[in-house]
């Protein structure tokens, strides 16, 4: 059976859903100067692989870190996390099945204001 990819536009870029049955596979595009919401999932277990670009990763109980091409990060269920694009970035998400009802947001996705982005870029890039 042939599956269609589905593109979901986001404030921070877009997600291309490749599969979402027993497991989920997505191609993410994160724009420079944008961040996704700070959020967690009670059920979803995620692993992200950075294809290209530079991403600031903030994860509960860990210091913020910069991810670049070839880096992998695992986000277990219940872990608050957020990505910020220090550069335009392509990311692959491998995870358990995605359900919108399993996303618990603490902040909204946003374009970062110029001064805040300059400060983040200087600190982490």
Would 10 be classed as within a structural domain?
A: yes
Would 1 be classed as within a structural domain?
A: no
Number of H helices, E strands in the chain: 1, 13
What pLDDT digit, counting tens, does each position of 99-124 carry?
999 999 999 999 999 999 999 999 99
What pLDDT digit, counting tens, does each position of 39-89 carry?
999 999 999 999 999 999 999 989 999 999 999 999 999 999 999 999 999
Would 99 be classed as within a structural domain?
A: yes
Query: What CATH number does the domain containing 112 carry?
Result: 2.60.120.10
Give the count of domains, the chain: 1
Distance (Å, rounded) from C-alpha 8 to C-alpha 72? 23
Domain membership of residue 23 as a residue range: 6-124
């Amino acid at each position: 059976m042939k599956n269609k990819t589905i593109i979901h536009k986001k404030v921070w870029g877009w997600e291309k859903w490749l599969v979402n049955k027993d497991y989920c596979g997505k191609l993410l595009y994160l724009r420079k100067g944008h961040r996704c919401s700070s959020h967690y999932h009670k059920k979803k277990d995620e692993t992200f692989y950075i294809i290209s670009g530079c991403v600031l990763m903030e994860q509960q109980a860990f210091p913020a870190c910069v991810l670049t091409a070839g880096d992998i990060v695992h986000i277990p269920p219940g872990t608050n996390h957020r990505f910020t694009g220090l550069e335009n970035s392509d990311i692959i998400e491998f995870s358990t099945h995605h359900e919108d009802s399993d996303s618990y947001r603490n902040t909204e996705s946003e374009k970062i204001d110029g001064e805040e982005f300059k400060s983040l870029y200087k600190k982490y890039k």
